[in-house]
Structure 1
């Protein structure tokens, strides 16, 4: 029997979460805002510095323009920067590899999916999420201990850290759910593989067959008179129905036309 071509829900969940996490991680990788330094010494109060893993920018609160490409050998010399650069790039590559492996295993044009291939793709997506959370968590833990920070400087978490956490969690959840598909049981019915013929027979058999309702339609046929007339009534029958005497119609007047002598 032919199986329905509906994609299992766990694969749909993984294919939605993984690309969303990849976009968030890409933003967290290239954007220079892992942390923000405010209240800089010998600088205007409205000026702040945004530091990322690839670039450093200086901005002011009264303008949207930024000056990037600042050099800071001490900051880029920290071990966390090298680790974050390698793991963030590796995570992006592994996520794409996981999607490339999982997509052929997901049933969209076949009767049933290849659960092993799709599960391996989920494992790669799960690993890419772990690669994201390692540098993000480490950088957050030593946020105020990284060099170039004095006690007078205020350190704030940048939006890249938040996006990285969300993207990593998305990929971990999506990859884990896709990996669960390797554990097959119950003949595939718990994964949405329902036979089309069984489904149609069940739906029609579960519905009680109702008897056709009988409706009495009044007959509109009438006896027609042998000589149909365009007048809807007969004058004699109308005279019989009148319950009061009717005035007699006046007869024709006679006009006296006597001879007139000259």
Structure 2
């Protein structure tokens, strides 16, 4: 039984496919948000501290703890809490957040050579591998963020906690992780051709050549041009016509001069040649 001929595909445009553009935009945005969530000391906020002014609160991150007030803009980040930093969730968050930042950079470095738009065809294998790394970096961000949020009130600390609130680092971490997961997954889709090649911006060669052949065989469309000649109407709005001017004239015309005869002789003195 003869083997089926492998179908050939052709790119319809030299532009970078939309899935690669989407991934290359979402990944750096997610990396910036994750970097902010990693270094900023605001994973949770402790408010209404006993024996403290009412405007004073404590911000706890995965690397440092700061004491701040609503009046002063500067915070004191020299606080130490061995019980807080010794908890398991903090140790896991420190490792996974740093690993996520590194893996995202590696994924971008792998994907950039495959996404280059100055080639006729992108390197889908490199772009897909870069998408996998970016996807994994997003997962490594979501794991510690979700775990810390789940046990927000149970994380041990030497500071008495009365009012515990979620910090902005949790929100930025969620958004950054989702950006990286979406961007990496969309880039990974390019490894396999799906949706009739629309994800890669490609079409079958038979479809492209067949469409061109059909367009050449189509006859030229005939366009009906309206005629500019109009029949002269008997009931014209003009009170006179050109013919009536030639026929009916109410004033005498100047007579045209008579044509000179070729044999007209000179009326003066005759010459010998005239005799």
Common topology (TM > 0.5): yes
Residue 9 of structure 1: how far off its partner (Å):
2.0
TM-aligned CA distance change 1:156 to 1:104, over 3 Å: same
Q: Tell me, in whole angstroms, the C-alpha distance in 2 between the residues paired with 1:131 and 1:161.
A: 14
Residue 186 of structure 1: how far off its partner (Å):
7.5
Q: 2:31 aligns with which of 11, 22, 27?
A: 22
TM-aligned CA distance change 1:113 to 1:187, over 3 Å: farther
Corresponding residue number in structure 1 for 2:120:
111
Q: 1:169 aligns with which of 175, 178, 182?
A: 178
Q: 1:76 aligns with which of 71, 85, 100?
A: 85
Q: Tell me, in whole angstroms, the C-alpha distance in 1 between the residues paired with 2:211 and 2:80.
A: 69
Residue 77 of structure 1: how far off its partner (Å):
2.0
Q: Tell me, in whole angstroms, the C-alpha distance in 1 between the residues paired with 2:65 and 2:31.
A: 23
Structure 1 position 183 matched with structure 2 position 183: no
Q: Tell me, in whole angstroms, the C-alpha distance in 1 between the residues paired with 2:212 and 2:180.
A: 40
3-state SS of paired residue (1:41): coil
Residue 37 of structure 1: how far off its partner (Å):
0.4
Residue 36 of structure 1: how far off its partner (Å):
0.2
Q: Tell me, in whole angstroms, the C-alpha distance in 1 between the residues paired with 2:123 and 2:99.
A: 26
CA RMSD of aligned residues (A): 3.2
Corresponding residue number in structure 1 for 2:65:
56
Structure 2 regions of 5+ residues with no counterpart? 1-8, 231-244, 253-275
Corresponding residue number in structure 1 for 2:141:
132
Corresponding residue number in structure 2 for 1:210:
221
Structure 1 position 141 matched with structure 2 position 176: no
Maintained 8 Å contact 2:17/2:199 = no
Structure 1 position 88 matched with structure 2 position 97: yes
Q: Tell me, in whole angstroms, the C-alpha distance in 2 between the residues paired with 1:155 and 1:49.
A: 10
Q: Tell me, in whole angstroms, the C-alpha distance in 2 between the residues paired with 1:98 and 1:135.
A: 20
Q: Deviations over 1:81-138 (max 9, x none)?
A: 2221111111011001001111111241111122111111111011101110111112
Residue 66 of structure 1: how far off its partner (Å):
2.0
Q: Tell me, in whole angstroms, the C-alpha distance in 2 between the residues paired with 1:190 and 1:124.
A: 20
TM-aligned CA distance change 1:118 to 1:57, over 3 Å: same
Q: Tell me, in whole angstroms, the C-alpha distance in 2 between the residues paired with 1:59 and 1:12.
A: 42
Corresponding residue number in structure 2 for 1:122:
131
TM-aligned CA distance change 1:131 to 1:148, over 3 Å: same
TM-aligned CA distance change 1:105 to 1:203, over 3 Å: farther
Q: TM-score, normalised by structure 2?
A: 0.71
3-state SS of paired residue (1:50): strand
Q: Which range moved further: 46-55 or 181-190?
A: 181-190
3-state SS of paired residue (2:128): helix
Q: Tell me, in whole angstroms, the C-alpha distance in 2 between the residues paired with 1:182 and 1:190.
A: 10
TM-aligned CA distance change 1:199 to 1:11, over 3 Å: farther
Q: Tell me, in whole angstroms, the C-alpha distance in 1 between the residues paired with 2:219 and 2:53.
A: 80
